[in-house]
Amino acid sequence: MMGGMDRQQLADFLRHRREKLRPDDVGLHAGPRRRVAGLRRNEVADLVGMSADYYTRLEQARGPQPSEQMLSAMARALRLTIDERDHLYRLAGHYAPDRTPLDTHVAPALQRVLDRLDDTPALVISSLAETLVQNRLATAIFGDPSGSTGWARSGIYRWFTDPQSRGVYPTADHPRQGRAHVASLRVAYGQGGAGSRADRLVRVLLKESAEFAEVWEQHEAAARFEDHKTLMHPEVGAIEVDCQALLTEDQSQALLVLTAAPRTEAAEKLALLSVLGHEQFTS
């Protein structure tokens, strides 16, 4: 943490950014009786995951100092660029996060695309397979990772340390999926180099997983996203999907979009999940 927060400048910045956004910029419907062009305070609060009262007090220059985690969520909700995110942190009295190839601030361009995808599973992941944001259908299939902390936020780490994390893929696909995880981690390692988060994750996994160490020695390097996948859901069973990826220019983040061929059983299953979400089906 650096010096104290500049409450008035923070309030002005938040209000200005909120008023510049339109509902369809963040995947919301404006509705017929909308009186304001920009987002409402409660809408931003919902996107951030904070109370409307807390956010209102920040815009009124009388709120408490937000945590770094809260600032990260606000930067994502307000669709800030990296420069704007850093400015937000400084106004709130925090040091701006280090800029690295593995920055976990969601790229606004990917976020805008994700906002428009509500009929097919989609998620944005980092180079370490950390789920940064995902839509409702992706949550229905992959679960909610928001409770994970530390290295457990990485899907690569969970794959090699938590057998239950593999349940979303058929057993026969586990070797291929494991190699894909390791190959993508090697790409991230090459981008970050010694001392990077990717390097630290490699060292942790070499100690904790003999399986990882064996696959790591194969020296495969590839960002394997665009392929056909079979995903397992506990209620609807196997879902055949194609996975397409949209990467940022530095390849540090990827938007994964999972689609099923029209008029197939898989498409019907996704439509059913879209209605029911991740809730348990009744018998």
Mean pLDDT of 4-24: 88
Give residue 27's pLDDT.
75
Contact 228, 240 (CB under 8 A): yes
Tell me the three state secondary structure of residue 210.
Answer: helix
Would you place residue 282 in the very low, low, confident or very high pLDDT band (cuts 50, 70, 90)? very low
Digit-coded pLDDT (tens) for 192-207: 888 888 999 999 999 9
Q: Which whole-number Å values give the CA distances from 6 to 2, 10, 65, 275, in the listed order?
A: 12, 6, 10, 44
Secondary element (H or E) of residue 14: helix 7-20
Same-domain pairing of 149 and 265? yes
C-alpha 195/C-alpha 173 separation (Å) is 32
pLDDT score at 53: 93
Q: What is the percent of the chain with per-residue pLDDT over 70, rounded to a whole number?
A: 92
Count of other CB atoms within 10 angstroms of residue 218: 11
Q: Nearest Cα to 141, choosing from 223, 225, 258?
A: 258
Answer yes or no: do 67 and 127 share one domain.
Answer: no
- Residue, of 105 and 270, whose pLDDT is higher: 270
Q: Are strands 253-259 and 227-233 parallel, antiparallel or unpaired?
A: unpaired
Same domain for 207 and 246? yes
Q: Residue 99: inside a domain, yes or no?
A: no
* 166 & 232 share domain: yes
Q: Can you give the CATH number for the domain in which 68 is found?
A: 1.10.260.40
Are residues 29 and 65 both part of a single domain? yes
Same domain, 74 and 200: no
If you average pLDDT over every residue of the chain, what do you get? 87
* The pLDDT of residue 3: 60
How large is the average pLDDT for residues 229-234? 92
Same domain, 58 and 194: no
Over residues 42-76, the pLDDT tens digits come to 999 998 989 999 999 999 999 899 998 899 889 98
Mean pLDDT calculated for residue range 239-252 = 88
The verdict on 172 and 58 lying in the same domain is no
Per-residue confidence (pLDDT) for residue 281, from 0 to 100: 45
DSSP symbol at 226: S
Do the domain assignments include residue 98? no
Q: Which residues contact 97 (CB under 8 A, 6 or more apart)?
A: 68, 72, 85, 86, 89, 103, 105
pLDDT greater than 80 at residue 103:
no
Structural contact between residues 84 and 110, judged by C-beta atoms closer than 8 angstroms: no
Do 82 and 218 belong together in one domain? no
Residue with more model confidence, 103 or 148: 148
Strand spans (E) along the chain: 122-126, 131-134, 227-233, 237-247, 253-259
Handedness of CA 140, 142, 143, 146 (dihedral sign): negative
Q: d(Cα 175, Cα 166) in Å, to the nearest integer? A: 11
Domain count, the chain: 2
For 140-178, what is each residue's pLDDT tens digit? 999 988 788 899 999 999 999 999 999 999 999 999 999
Give the H or E element holding residue 137. helix 136-142
Amino acid (one-letter) located at 70: M
CATH number at residue 158: 3.30.450.180
Interatomic CA distance for residues 245 and 227, integer angstroms: 9
Which of 144, 228, 127 minimizes the C-alpha distance to 181?
A: 127
Helix or strand (DSSP H, E) at 7: helix 7-20
* pLDDT grade for 277, boundaries at 50, 70 and 90: low
Asked if 53 and 123 sit in the same domain, the reply is no
- Answer yes or no: do 31 and 56 share one domain: yes
Domain co-membership, 113 together with 42: no
Range of the structural domain that residue 235 is part of = 108-276
Three-state secondary structure call for residue 138: helix
Q: Rounded CA gap, 159 and 190, in Å?
A: 21
Q: Domain boundary residue among 43, 60, 91?
A: 91
